[in-house]
Amino acid sequence: MNRNRFGIQVAVATGLISLFAAPGAVLAQNHLAGSAQAPVMASPGTQPKTDSLPANDFAGLNYSDDQKAAIDRIHRDSELRKETVMKDEKLTPDQKNAMLLGYTRLEYGAIFRVLLPDQQKQVRKRVLARQAADHATQKKQTPQG
């Protein structure tokens, strides 16, 4: 029973990570986005880096009162979920990290959906610029030949 429960938890965590690693390609193609992330091509055993999340992609936007209220509600809901994961003693640290990363991505996607089309364009530009900078940094760090 414990083995089956562990397998289910790992599958859920992996599903959340893979679900939110790829929607960026769809985001660029249509305006019905669930996340501001672009596709990440990684080997099946690697985990996305937490520093690749869009910490400053929403900074500097002017929100309406309705948007502020919705974003505040999204933050509160996300924090409650994250606290629940942190308190769950059945999860391993890796499982907790995967779940927390998944909830963070869900939170960013929900915030993105609250934005107006012009605000979404600004965020997309920031995401693409950040990804280009990350890609350039990775190329510099990768040894040639």
Tens of pLDDT along 14-40? 554 544 444 443 333 333 333 334 333
In percent, how much of the chain has pLDDT > 90? 46
What is the mean predicted confidence (pLDDT) over 62-74? 94
User: By the 8 A CB rule, do 10 and 17 touch?
Assistant: no
CA 72/CA 67 separation, integer angstroms: 8
pTM: 0.59
Closest CA to 25 of 124, 117, 137: 124
Two tokens, residue 127: 């995401």
User: By the 8 A CB rule, do 91 and 85 touch?
Assistant: yes
